[in-house]
Amino acid sequence: MSEMSATAPADARPAAQAGIPVGANPFSRWAVLALVLIGSALFLSLLWMIGTGTGFGSTNDGQSHADGRGLNGYAAMARYIEKRGHPVVRARNVGALDKPGLLVLTPPAGADGEDIEKIVSKRRYIGPTLVILPKWMALQPGREQEKAKTGWVNLQGMRPLEWRGFLDDVTVVQGEVDANGAKARWHGFGLEGALPSRKALQSGKGDTLVPVVEEQDGRVLAAFIDDGGSYPALEDAALTGMSSDPEDEDLYPLVLVFEPDLVDNWGMADRRAAQLVDALVAASEVEPRGTVTFDLTMNGFGRAQNLLTLAFTPPFLAATLCLLLAALVLGWRAFLRFGPPLAGERAIAFGKRALVANSAGLVRRSHRLHLIGGPYADHARDRLIRALALPRTLPPEQADAAIDRALASRRADAEPFSAISARLRHARKSHDLVKAARDLHALERMLTR
């Protein structure tokens, strides 16, 4: 047992023997500050991700919307518009569809036409709307396509489209490009180009359509609705004039793109398609730096409002920032106070010194300093009577005289006790009181040595 104790490691000894102060904090202030800041940042990031839906699944699912990166998606169009200086919003909440600026709708083939009509109707006096119709039936790449990236698709022909309740007087026509297999040629807005597909072409028919982009044989590839509004930019680009005089100049234009290959990722490989996107955005009466919103709610990525979403959305964002600032101030105050807590002092401390200090403080606050001179002189007389072995029954006058004689025998030029005692009893100012008490204390020490 003695050998084992002698060979025990130093860290097995008690903390006091090992030189470690008892109660010392094992972490430095900066380490704790780093832990708190990193933890707070991660917690706020988690709340923001939950509120906005960011990071919970990819929206690049190979379908026709602004986050789709396959041939049939519109990620290139959204990115191009953003590069041209327009703020681009990918809306995942129905409330964001009522904002001013251009709204780009890319509903799937199975969408409800009445839902599309509700969205479009609410915006007619808010801002322009661009509806891009779907065309392709897209399938995920097979296992044999090892080099295929996420979001890539295989196009397997056109998908039938029928949106009952939305522009029922407009017909979507799906057919072949040309019998000889040549690419479809389009022209509009003073531009012209070729579609990427040599087989399938989608166009529209209707009495209310005013074409802005047509195929070389006259099929309408993009048009706006002649519904009584005044759209000067689109009128200049249209091949035919308005069917009637404007009835409501406050209406914003509604533009339909029947052939999505004009602006999808497949078509945007041609720079002339990019120029066509510029023309469509400009003709839709959007300001040079106006917001362009791409809808994702109809493509299955909508989400409902919740408290976290509102917390990071104006005007509630201001209250959230105020709460974060208050938390930062509290954290900084706690950081400045970091370390072992100090034991609080007692209201009434132990010991004679504390008792005297408390009594003196009470007398000082009551402004009765002049009342302590007489009792102090009486106690000094009693102590000197005991020290000089004088009879305790002596009257105060005789005791003072006896003390004066004892003082004169030791020091003839010293101020008598009776004089100092009288001066102390009649003192009214604190300065005079303290001086007389010091003189009396010095006299007492002289006689008791």
Instruction: Considering only residues 13 and 134, tell me which one the structure prediction assigns the higher pLDDT.
Output: 134
HEC string of the chain equals CHHHHHCCCHHHCCCCCCCCCCCCCCCCHHHHHHHHHHHHHHHHHHHHHHHHCCCCCCCCCCCCCCCCCCCCCCHHHHHHHHHCCCCEEEECCHHHHHCCCEEEECCCCCCCHHHHHHHHHHHCCCCCEEEECCCEEEECCCCCCCCCCCCCCEEEEECCCCCCCCCCCCEEEEEECCCCCCCCEEEECCEEEECCCCCEEEEEECCCEEEEEEECCCCEEEEEECCCECCHHHHHHCCCCCCCCCCECCCCCEEEECCHHHCCCCHHHCHHHHHHHHHHHHHCCCCCCCCEEEECHHHCCCCCCCHHHHHCCCCHHHHHHHHHHHHHHHHHHHHHCCCCCCCCCCCCCCCHHHHHHHHHHHHHHHCCHHHCHHHHHHHHHHHHHHHCCCCCCCCHHHHHHHHHHHHHHHCCCCCCHHHHHHHHHHCCCHHHHHHHHHHHHHHHHHHHC
Encode pLDDT of 26-36 as tens digits: 667 778 778 88
Contacts of 426 (CB under 8 A, 6+ apart): 373
pLDDT of residue 359: 80
Nearest to 213 by CA among 168, 286, 280, 153: 280
Encode pLDDT of 334-361 as tens digits: 777 655 656 666 666 677 787 888 887 8
Q: CA 92 to CA 321: how far, in whole Å?
A: 23
Q: If you search the block for the tokens 């779907």, which residue do you land on?
A: 134
| Mean pLDDT of all residues belonging to the chain | 82
Residue 332 — very low, low, confident or very high, per pLDDT cuts 50/70/90?
Answer: confident
pLDDT of residue 302: 67
Nearest to 419 by CA among 433, 402, 440: 440
Encode pLDDT of 92-141 as tens digits: 878 788 888 999 999 998 899 999 999 999 998 899 999 999 998 887 77
List of long-range contacts for 325-331, beta carbons under 8 Å, 24+ apart: 327/40, 331/36, 331/40
- Asked if 75 contacts 68 with a C-beta cutoff of 8 angstroms, the reply is yes
Nearest to 197 by CA among 136, 117, 247: 136
Q: Residue range 210-226: average pLDDT?
A: 91
Q: CA 246 to CA 358: how far, in whole Å?
A: 94
Proportion of the chain above pLDDT 90, given as a percent: 29
Residue 303 — very low, low, confident or very high, per pLDDT cuts 50/70/90?
Answer: low
pLDDT of residue 103: 94
Encode pLDDT of 37-74 as tens digits: 898 888 888 877 766 666 556 677 778 888 888 888 99
- Asked if 64 contacts 373 with a C-beta cutoff of 8 angstroms, the reply is no
- 307: pLDDT strictly greater than 80: no
pLDDT of residue 229: 65
Cross-strand partners of 223: 211, 256
pLDDT of residue 346: 67
> Which pTM does this prediction carry?
0.60
Interstrand relation of 209-215 and 200-205 (parallel, antiparallel or unpaired): unpaired
- Asked if 127 contacts 101 with a C-beta cutoff of 8 angstroms, the reply is yes
pLDDT of residue 11: 45
